[in-house]
Structure 1
Amino acid sequence: MTTAAWGAPSTPPGRRPLASLPKAHLHLHFTGSLRLPTLVELAAGHGLRLPEALVGQWPPRLASVQDERGWFRFQRLYDAARACVRGEADMRRLVREAALDDAAEGSRWLEIQVDPTSYAPFVGGLTPALEIVLDEAGAASRELGIGVAVLVAASRIRNPLDARTLARLAARYAGSGPGAVVGFGLSNDERRGDTREFDVAFDIARRAGLSLMPHAGELLGPASIEETLDALRPDRIGHGVRAPEDPRVLDRLANDGVALEVCPGSNVALGVFERADQVPLRALAAAGIPLALGADDPLLFGSRLVAQYEIARDDLGFSDPELAELARASIRVSTAPEAVVAAILAEIDAWLAAPPPA
């Protein structure tokens, strides 16, 4: 990153359309990507009743997750949505619609996170559940003009032995292109579980050539980031927005070249920050940390990928050259094949070279 790319906030005379800015989307959860109308339709089809808090007002009002009661209420809504995905047709529809929505917002490469455990009972096991997601990801990639790859994510609230099972499953389908497993992650409440106990699962994934992308540094402070760096040796970290609270951790992320997947809309909706202009995107960028913006769970937070770039522009003052640099970083730290990376970087250059609307 050049100094000029991360200069003082500036407002260009015209605004280039962010939906046409080519970019990668590296932080999107499987159930959390659902469209609300699709969720309502699935629930009705399965005879399930959705919580009023989820459908009565959208996006739902979420309590701050700074205390565990807030996280419990968030998780209850997420679990209610996940319970509506019951079978192969539902899973394929979810993947297809996620790809369609991303493509409409200028995403050229999507890495969608899935824990197949919740869907396995409806399709005959973990292996069929993952194969369905991979097969539809490959089909969507061929048909929609967007590369869709899969990240298998274990849950912190389950036994670390379960994570090892998922890591072995992910390793069997490891690949480097659309329709393949490209990474292994760890999600859910950062306050639960011992990060160090998941090291064996991450070693399994590492030996299979998978990229490693655990969550850390959102609900907990920079100490959780440092513990994750020590125990799991990640390539990217989901969130990590608490890093600026400790300059030493900030420097370590930059020196180690570990990228962060930053989800501003999620951070505000969950009460990690009160306002969008408090998300430390500039501090992270100025430290030289590669950044990729992500939507996290659009179903619950009400904002998709372009909205994250709008926050960077409207609330944090990022200029078009700086937004283009964010898009470049998202591509560079993705698992996309080199030829795909080069092609998308050229598209970003063309977006920036075109004059903004009057």
Structure 2
Amino acid sequence: MGERAYNFGAGPAMMPDAVIERVAREWQDFRGEGYSAMELGHRSEHFADILARAKADLRALLDVPESHHILFLHGGATPHFAMVPLNLAQPGESADYIHTGYWSDKAMAEASALVNVRIAASAADSEFDRVPDRAGWQLDPAAAYVHICSNETIGGVEYDGDPDTGNVPLVADMSSNILSRPIDVARYGLIYAGAQKNIGPAGLAIVIVRDDLLERVRAGVPSVMKYARHVEWDSMYNTPAAFAIWVAGLVFEHVRKAGGVTEMARISVEKAQKIYAAIDASSLYINRIQPASRSRMNVPFFLREPRLEQRFLDGARRRGLLNLKGHRATGGMRASLYNAMPLAGAQALADYMTEFERKNG
């Protein structure tokens, strides 16, 4: 590989160098078979081995109990905004949602046509600058499930643990922080995550679902939207995203060799602290999130002088610090610090921010 840029994009995101190098080696000649990794047959012995290893490695990384199934499905996280209520709630039932920003809002909007959405807690009155304190959640013990977005990629707020919802199944969209810290999977009824941030290529979703919840699917749901059907077919009810699953498996292997999610958590805190320290010591940069809810994965920030934004981005690009422009819904800047972002990348950005302010502040 040539000189490596630091890609701070929110997803599709930076991938581990070791994984990219492995993919490059097998792009044209997969395991010496004489065909490309893109041509990997999903009925081949190779793919059966890949799928089994990927599931086993993910189960080990997250300590997934045997009560939960692991699925590799198409389409990223967004289809599960609808699949969750279709599979876990009967028509007329209600579900509790914790409203923490853009993606939890999207999940609620999609689910509202399929289930009675109750907002059990919201940070809207503080412009989503925090995760609502658990003590203030108004949960319904008769709800079909409680839904959270464990890390808001755009707003930059993150839960600091696994909330207790009692006997009501907890459902979490973990698209942007899965594999970045240990989690108590047994506390969740269902976890779903788009792969394109901490796992692999876009277009793949990981689902971890508790076995007893498979029976809740409502009548009339198309087979391809039934979690139970995908469990029955071992993620192969329709042709799986074989290449994406292979790459995901390489990432799981890489994370295990690098120390697992405990080590990822340690490094993620260190990376985020470097950026937040540069912001907090500054009179030019602003982060609006309460410190206790600040995301380790996505750090949004704004310049007090918006006229300097393009100059900041241009200077960053010249230094190989890429894709720092904020989401179109918010503007400003955003640095995504997923697992594949090395500590040196966070340090390089923090140094550049300090230098830019010295010259332009």
Normalising to structure 2: TM-score of the pair? 0.28
In terms of Rg, which structure is larger? 2
Normalising to structure 1: TM-score of the pair? 0.28
Q: Determine which structure has the larger helix proportion and give its number.
A: 1
